[in-house]
């Protein structure tokens, strides 16, 4: 009997361990995750950040990407294309030797052979013999030095490819940048072909920037860029082989993550995310159409901007096996740090032929999202994975988690327009005046010398404030139509759905960082301030937790981003009949 019972227990345990992920499993895991982060000793109306995040393990949170890498790299997919097998073998060689020895051998080879030396010396000789008064000569030399940067370094290359997608100008090039594409499309194409040493399709581009600095600075600028080529050639000290592969073979690792989760999961989660985004966009549209807008002019501006948004998730065509092998199959393992651009980005120029420029950005494997000036919105892998998002999560968790992040990115699409109008019209300048006052004057509770200066992070503050409200309204709108069952656990059962919404939103913001390490010129406010400013003036929050007047998390008048305060109209009519 005892043997039979043990056998039964063993069989049940085995069955449960091998069961497919199901709704109850992921909801229970999420409930445990939420509950573990709470510090219920704290009163939510006094310090909601500590209440929701008081027991969050921030070190574990920031190490999430490495835990994912360990899972992915140590568990090959059943069917892998040849190039992914090569990268996995490279990872195995790293593990076999140990990360320190492996990196030392690679760096010693680079130091000894100096593969950049011949080309750098040739460029330096040409630079020394050239007159930079001629702008055409300066543009050609700029193209040459950028080619060297892309060929022998990774950092400049990465930001520049992102710039092609977004139309943004690298900060170091911003003061006097000229859009070659607007002046001469043929010149712009020749410039890009030289820089990337490939045939670049410019049909989907609207910006190709080149810095045209005053003559006295041109030589110094080129010499500075040339110095970057030889100053960034050695591998940094990665903490593990997983971190090395993730950083140096980022596109291949992204493909491994895609294969690890499988096409079915990618399609399901991307489809649900876009469906939730659609609900969010409808909510924002309804707010703009029927809200108490400051003027009809701003109503039209906001609606037009909203319509121009496009969204990119995990479902990228490059992850098709045959397409990936075709374009990324020729991976180079000699000087892997120098070849980051060649391996991870250059193949996209061929793959992107005939496609719109958003194709260039492959989903990355961190926790990040990006809004571009062309209203493209990109979302990276961790936003689609447990504990942040899952197809089985109910609306209360999806909309307070990754959909809140999406609302933040959409919010970036309105900030510049409103700020520009505000510079001309005092009515609109009040929007930013209010946010400046709301976020200003706050310092680290443990170090009064570390304070926030809103002039550096006003645009992010706008996006946060906008996102909190729109994500909440979208969640309420969605749950009026259909509600799936909610999270349940001992402590969480005490929460209403609205309370759970705000708790999960606070834990989502835990990823945004605390006061620790915050600098006065940071473009983002620290997480505790982002949460307080977003919620304290929101009646839905103060009502949910019954925050009384005088509570830290209750301020009577919040900011109005695009709408005026409602004023009673005592001349109401119904079908033209006065109701006085």
At 81 the three-state DSSP class reads coil
Number of helical (H) and strand (E) elements in the chain, helices listed first: 26, 9
**Tens of pLDDT, residues 3-55:** 333 332 333 233 223 334 445 788 889 999 999 999 999 999 999 999 999 99
pLDDT score at 133: 92
* Backbone torsions φ then ψ of 75, nearest 5 degrees: -130, 90
d(CA 481, CA 479): 5
Residues 6+ apart with CB under 8 A from 16: none
pLDDT of 485: 62
Question: Which residues partner with 179 through β-bridges?
Answer: 209
Q: How far apart are CA 317 and CA 124, in angstroms?
A: 41
Extended beta strands in 294-411, E state = 310-312, 369-371, 376-379
What stretches in the chain show pLDDT beneath 50? 1-22, 157-158, 160-175, 566-580
Res 154: pLDDT: 66
pLDDT digits (tens, 9 = 90+) for 306-319: 999 999 999 999 99
Model confidence, pTM: 0.86
- In this prediction, residue 511 carries a pLDDT of 92
Of the CATH numbers 3.40.390.10, 1.10.1060.10, 1.20.1250.20, 1.10.287.10, which one belongs to the domain with range 263-316+362-544? 3.40.390.10
**Coarse DSSP helix, strand, coil percentages of the chain, rounded to the nearest 5 percent:** 60, 5, 35
Range(s) within the chain of domains with CATH label 3.40.390.10: 263-316+362-544
* C-alpha torsion 544→548→549→550, nearest 10: -110
- The b/e string for 492-526 (b: 16+ C-beta within 10 A; e otherwise) is beebebbbbbbbbbbbbbbbbbbbeebeeeeebbb
CA 518 to chain centre: 19
Nearest-angstrom CA–CA distance, 287 and 412 = 17
For residue 521, the model assigns a pLDDT of: 81
- For position 423, what pLDDT does the model report? 56
Residue 504 in tokens: 């999960």
The closest alpha carbon to 360, from 177, 87, 163, belongs to 163
């Amino acid at each position: 009997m005892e043997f039979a019972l043990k056998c039964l227990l063993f069989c049940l345990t085995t069955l449960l361990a091998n069961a497919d992920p199901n709704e109850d499993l992921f909801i229970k895991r999420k409930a445990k995750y939420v509950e573990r982060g709470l510090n219920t000793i704290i009163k939510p109306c006094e310090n909601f950040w500590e209440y929701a995040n008081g027991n969050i393990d921030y070190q574990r949170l920031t190490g999430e990407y490495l835990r994912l890498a360990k899972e992915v790299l140590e568990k090959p997919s059943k069917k892998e294309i040849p190039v992914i097998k090569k990268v996995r073998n490279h990872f195995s060689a790293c593990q076999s030797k140990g990360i320190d020895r492996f990196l030392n051998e690679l760096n010693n080879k680079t130091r000894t052979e100096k593969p950049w030396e011949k080309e750098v010396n040739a460029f330096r000789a040409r630079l020394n013999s050239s007159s930079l008064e001629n702008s055409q000569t300066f543009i050609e030399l700029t193209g040459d030095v950028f080619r060297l940067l892309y060929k022998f370094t990774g950092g400049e290359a990465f930001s520049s490819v992102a710039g092609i997608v977004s139309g943004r100008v690298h900060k170091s090039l911003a003061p006097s940048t000229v859009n070659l594409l607007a002046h001469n499309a043929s010149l712009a194409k020749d410039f890009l072909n030289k820089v990337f040493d490939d045939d670049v399709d410019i049909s989907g581009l609207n910006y190709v920037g080149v810095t045209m600095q005053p003559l006295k600075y041109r030589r110094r600028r080129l010499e500075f860029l040339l110095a970057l080529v030889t100053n960034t050639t050695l591998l940094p000290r990665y903490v593990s082989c997983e971190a090395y592969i993730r950083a140096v073979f980022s596109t291949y690792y992204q493909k491994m993550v895609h294969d690890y989760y499988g096409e079915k999961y990618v399609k399901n989660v991307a489809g649900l995310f876009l469906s939730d985004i659609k609900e969010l966009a409808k909510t924002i549209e309804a707010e703009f159409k029927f809200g108490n807008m400051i003027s009809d002019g701003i109503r039209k501006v906001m609606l037009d901007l909203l319509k121009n948004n496009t969204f990119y998730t995990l479902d990228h065509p490059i992850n098709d096996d045959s397409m990936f092998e075709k374009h990324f199959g020729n991976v180079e393992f000699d000087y892997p740090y120098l070849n980051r651009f060649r391996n991870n980005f250059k193949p996209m120029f061929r793959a992107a032929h005939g496609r719109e420029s958003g194709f260039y950005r492959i989903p990355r494997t961190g926790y990040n999202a990006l809004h571009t000036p062309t209203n493209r919105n990109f979302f990276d892998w961790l936003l689609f994975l447990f504990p942040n998002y899952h197809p089985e999560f109910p609306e209360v968790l999806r909309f307070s988690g990754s959909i809140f992040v999406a609302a933040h990115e959409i919010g970036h699409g309105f900030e510049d327009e409103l700020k520009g109008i505000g510079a001309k019209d005092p009515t609109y300048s009040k929007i930013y005046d209010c946010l400046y006052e709301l976020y200003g004057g706050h310092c680290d509770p443990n170090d009064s010398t570390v304070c926030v200066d809103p002039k550096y992070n006003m645009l992010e503050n706008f996006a946060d404030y906008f996102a909190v409200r729109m994500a909440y309204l979208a969640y309420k709108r969605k749950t009026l139509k259909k509600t799936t069952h909610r999270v349940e656990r001992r402590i969480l059962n005490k929460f209403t759905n609205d309370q759970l919404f705000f708790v999960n939103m606070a834990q989502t913001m835990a990823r945004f960082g605390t006061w620790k390490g915050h600098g006065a010129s940071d473009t983002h406010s620290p997480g505790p301030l982002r949460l307080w400013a977003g919620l304290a003036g929101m009646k839905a929050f103060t009502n949910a937790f019954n925050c009384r007047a005088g509570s830290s998390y209750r301020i009577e008048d919040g900011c109005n981003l695009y709408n005026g305060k409602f004023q009673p109209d005592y001349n109401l009519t119904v079908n033209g009949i006065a109701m006085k």
